[in-house]
Structure 1
Amino acid sequence: MAASVSLDRLPPTTASYVIATAIIAGVTGFFIGQGAALGLFSSSSAKKSWPNSYDVKVHRGSSDEGEDEDIEEEEEEGESEEEEDDGGELATFEGNTDEVKLVLVVRTDLGMGKGKIAAQCSHATLACYKYYLSKSPNSPILRRWERGGQAKVALQVKTEEEMLLLQAQALSLGLCARVIQDAGRTQIASGSRTVLGVLGPKSVVDTVTGHLKLL
């Protein structure tokens, strides 16, 4: 008569748990990936703006509204300066063969930042050029300045009175001398005179501004 042998069930090993866990994780990940591809987990807060329908979260600073505000600020800054409407008779400086240069005299007592100074100097440069074009478009002085690389030098003064005195001296010599007056929409008070531009032969310009320090 055959004897029956009772075998006790052995407990699962650690390796079995690891293998089972890996299988479950793989199956779960597969179904989650399929659901995401079908858009089952999409959020209404995401903005679909790409052709492949990927959900793209747009940063608040890059919104259309933010861009409009930046444009308005740039336009306002660009309109914040005005050119004074005074000027003098331009001399022809016949026989003068000096290099032609533009001196930009900047007031330092206004506390303008670097960006503001750069903007004001740009206005002064354009003001001098436009004045020559309107008063003497065929002037050899202007043509020499254009062909010579449009030399520019930035100098400094500490008061408005000194700036206006320099302008008067330049005008008396027949130089182009333009003062920029600010509208006061950004850093400084309205009506502030910020930069004086003086354009002409080097030897003549230096008689007016040669004693000033570099900015």
Structure 2
Amino acid sequence: MSSGNAGSDNPGSGAGQLLFQPNEEAVAQIMSLGFSRNAAIRALFYTGNQTADQAADWLLENNDKNLDTPLETDLQGTSDSSDEDEFLTTDTFKMVFVVNMELQMGVGKVAAQVAHAALSLFRSMMEDEVKAEMIMAWGHLGETKVVVRGDSTTQLEMLAVQAAGLQVDHYLVQDAGLTQVTPGSKTVLAVFGKVDDVNRVTGSLKLL
């Protein structure tokens, strides 16, 4: 697959671009999938410069955008914005969903539970002005979402406690039990925050 023209691989060398040093190993991995270097750099920037897998997921979600626009254009575009917009580009955020694999839910059930977790955490955060700004920043930077595997209910509960201890926003879904699982089953844990903070909770888990 390809997301851009070969002639757009150079992401530019403006002041904003120089502040971001991409993970070159991840860049090479993403380019091996058929994406341009510029697209790879943009994806790594908007997913916290972590892994090729997370960046590739972001590219697939945002493939309708012009991925060959140099990253420096985005950064320059925010330099003349209001104070509120300046906040939106200060940090990168992501939302991670930990699915309880112990429950052996079907694909549709997992999708429904992830959606439940996302909406519940979103609504909860929007009730707080500061947290709502974090959500706005997340939306401004592509709404990075990652789904990972959780081994058991016990693990999800432990991760929720860990998130609380780190003051990382989270929501643990307890299902009504109308289909597939027993009432009160803990199906999905949603965790949201700055990329580095979320990785401290879920960074060791494998993608679903």
The higher-RCO structure (CA 8 Å, 6+ apart) is 1
Report % sequence identity.
38
Which of 137, 145, 160 is residue 152 of structure 1 equivalent to? 145
1:169 touches 1:208 (CA, 8 Å); kept in 2? Answer: yes
1:99 touches 1:201 (CA, 8 Å); kept in 2? Answer: yes
User: Displacement, 1:138?
Assistant: 6.0
User: Displacement, 1:173?
Assistant: 1.5
Q: Secondary structure at the residue paired with 1:116?
A: helix
Tell me if 1:122 matches 2:139.
no
TM-score, reference length from structure 1: 0.53
Which of 94, 111, 134 is residue 141 of structure 1 equivalent to? 134
User: Displacement, 1:136?
Assistant: 3.2
Q: Secondary structure at the residue paired with 1:213?
A: coil
**Where does residue 105 of structure 2 map in the other structure?**
112
Which consecutive unaligned segments of at least 5 residues does structure 1 have? 1-93
Which of 103, 123, 132 is residue 96 of structure 2 equivalent to? 103
**Where does residue 131 of structure 1 map in the other structure?**
124
Higher strand share: 1
Deviations along 1:72-131, one digit per CA (max 9) or x if unpaired, are xxxxxxxxxxxxxxxxxxxxxx9x943100000000010100000000000011011101
Which of 172, 177, 184 is residue 177 of structure 2 equivalent to? 184
**Matches of 1:97 and 1:112, distance apart in 2:** 38
1:163 touches 1:196 (CA, 8 Å); kept in 2? Answer: yes
User: Displacement, 1:175?
Assistant: 1.3
1:98 touches 1:203 (CA, 8 Å); kept in 2? Answer: no
Flag the structure with larger Rg. Answer: 1
Instruction: Give the letter aligned to residue 183 of structure 1.
Output: A
Question: What is the Cα-based RMSD across aligned positions, in Å?
Answer: 1.8
Cα 1:97–1:173, aligned 2, differ >3 Å: closer, same or farther?
farther
Which consecutive unaligned segments of at least 5 residues does structure 2 have? 1-86
Instruction: Give the letter aligned to residue 173 of structure 1.
Output: L
**Matches of 2:198 and 2:131, distance apart in 1:** 20
Q: Secondary structure at the residue paired with 1:212?
A: coil
Cα 1:137–1:98, aligned 2, differ >3 Å: closer, same or farther?
closer
**Where does residue 207 of structure 1 map in the other structure?**
200
Aligned residues: 121
User: Displacement, 1:140?
Assistant: 3.0
Deviations along 1:31-70, one digit per CA (max 9) or x if unpaired, are xxxxxxxxxxxxxxxxxxxxxxxxxxxxxxxxxxxxxxxx
**Matches of 1:146 and 1:132, distance apart in 2:** 13
